[in-house]
Structure 1
Amino acid sequence: MQLNRLSRALGEHHVVGCEDEDTDRVVKSAGRVLRILELFDVLKREALVSEVSELLEFPQSSTSVLLRSMVILGYLYFNPDTRAFGPTTRVALMGSWINGPMISDGTLTRLIDGVNKRTGQAVVLAVRNRIWSEYIHVAQATDPLRMFVVKGSRRPLVCSGTGLSLLAELPDSDIKRIALRYNAEADENVCLNTLLEQVNHTRARGWASSYDTVTPGGGMIAMRLPQFLNDERIVLGIAGLTSVLRENEDRFVLAMQEEIAENIAGARMEPPQLLAV
């Protein structure tokens, strides 16, 4: 997704996000359908074929075919007055059974809204996707000077705040394998000893922070959530300008801890006890 074009479409000055395309591992049409749905989730409005094609850099002819196919299947609707497309209620109801109690009673929504209101910053939920931390939900910042974080963005586990929180749940042997794989695939040279020091620091205090590592001028404060019913590990993060996060770090961490304790029954925020191997 072209962030400069998305910035214009959204009317935002600072749009951040990145994706691991994996074009050699994904069936092209399937990947494009999911990216179309994710784009509508970011835009939160109808969009013309030409806009979807431009923002996702898809050929306009195949984009038109995909959109009309999704209308036939019931996942999109077509507005004949505006000549634009939008997602249907069927999309909104998909997946409601996953982590049912956490979703159906509004627990996650209250948690995210609470942190968002108390900090004014963007709040994200992130999960592990192979060697990446992926943002599966974003509540945008309310402060006028803000960063717009794109849902679906991915950050390396080995050099991001949400990534460090996810790595803290793993034994050191797994972390070493992830670091080696990242260095090979991304052609980077992440220092393993430094990474393990950062992970141990995260385990000790129960939260992680990263500044100016992926986005210059931007950072993340992240904290794991109690384990959910389907065993998926989810991390809560606050994203914003580095200067704002550094100045308010203690206050933001306290806000996350208090909102987790209030909204998730039985939440225990002690660092995980893992053996280094």
Structure 2
Amino acid sequence: MRKKWAPENKHIVGSRPDLPDGVVKSAGRVLQILEYFDEIQRPANVVEISEILKLPQSSTSALLRSLVAMGYLYFDRLARTYMPSCRVALLGNWVNHPLFMGGVALQCMDELQQRTGDAVVLAIRNGVWAQYIHVLQATSMARLQVTRGALRPLAASGTGYALLSTLPDAEVRKICHRINAEARAAGRGAPVATDTLLPTLEDVRRSGYAFTTDLVTPGGAVLAMPLPVTDGGQALVVGLAGISEVQKARRTELIATMRDVLSAHFPAL
């Protein structure tokens, strides 16, 4: 049975993203609370939740009480802890992306974690970012903790490269134009050099994977491969995240393992 992860802040890679502009705070915070429970998979008290999500304790208490009243959380009065109810598990049960039918994507992630000991991430494109929508934490001794919901630059990260590799060059150019326009408007970051990026993406398409070290996180590495894109479906990428020096030494082994596992779960690859 996989060990449930408890947060160790000093080892976490990728800070929990702030709520995007335009999001109603109370709605966003409710979802952050549910996502946090999905990460830790155990009961938690109001102090822990308010600290990890950087919310005022009074606001956190009010939100938790509301979720209890609506039947989405269970409150243990003796332990003073909260836990999601079965009602949460039924939310979205009718939404079935083809890659999740039968749990194939999650089974693939489980096997990758068991065979490599590394953290396994599932990423999608979110605007000009690659976002980790699901994370299985590493079980090996040499490991980094990865934050679910973390954002990575679409044009400057391993998961981003893998996502962009599924798109035609014309679409990539449009995305780079948007990235550069937003960066100029915000007065931040160096512009993305499209003519440098496109050959990198061609290498990813040819090899079937993106491998980056120390690109976003100093000392961190990611090996990422795209999953089959279904008709009308959103592109998904699975990646192994770990320590740069360890992954560089294991690169050949990790690539072979990922190819073996993905081909077993996704014969279309």
TM-score by length of 2: 0.89
1:80 is aligned to 2:77? yes
Q: Quote the Cα distance in structure 1 between the aligned partners of 2:51 and 2:181.
A: 32
Identity percentage over the alignment?
45
Range with bigger deviation, 94-103 or 159-168: 94-103
Counting matched residue pairs gives 260
1:17 is aligned to 2:18? no
Partner of 1:267: 268
Partner of 1:244: 246
Equivalent positions of 1:195-210 (< 5 A) are: 195-210=197-212
Aligned 8 A contact 1:77 1:88 in 2: yes
Counterpart of 1:255 (choices 254, 257, 269) is 257
Q: Residue 21 of structure 2: SS of its match in structure 1? A: coil
Range with bigger deviation, 98-107 or 71-80: 98-107
Query: CA offset at residue 245 of structure 1?
Result: 1.2
Q: Residue 106 of structure 1: SS of its match in structure 2? A: helix
Partner of 1:234: 236
- Map Cα deviations across residues 104-157 of structure 1 (whole Å, 9 max, x no partner): 523223211221122111111111111111111111111012111111111111
Partner of 1:188: 189
Partner of 2:113: 116
Query: CA offset at residue 203 of structure 1?
Result: 1.3
Q: Quote the Cα distance in structure 2 between the aligned partners of 1:62 and 1:76.
A: 16
TM-score by length of 1: 0.87
Q: 1:59 to 1:232 in 2, by over 3 A?
A: same
Equivalent positions of 1:122-133 (< 5 A) are: 122-133=119-130
Query: CA offset at residue 23 of structure 1?
Result: 3.9
Q: Quote the Cα distance in structure 1 between the aligned partners of 2:157 and 2:216.
A: 7
Query: CA offset at residue 164 of structure 1?
Result: 0.5
Range with bigger deviation, 46-55 or 159-168: 46-55
Partner of 2:104: 107
Mind listing any 5+ residue stretches in structure 2 that lack a counterpart? Answer: none
Counterpart of 1:141 (choices 128, 133, 138) is 138
Aligned 8 A contact 1:122 1:142 in 2: yes
Equivalent AA in structure 2 for residue 72 of structure 1: A
Partner of 1:61: 58
Aligned 8 A contact 1:124 1:138 in 2: yes
Mind listing any 5+ residue stretches in structure 1 that lack a counterpart? Answer: 1-6, 269-277
Over aligned residue pairs, what C-alpha RMSD do you find? 2.0
Equivalent AA in structure 2 for residue 249 of structure 1: R
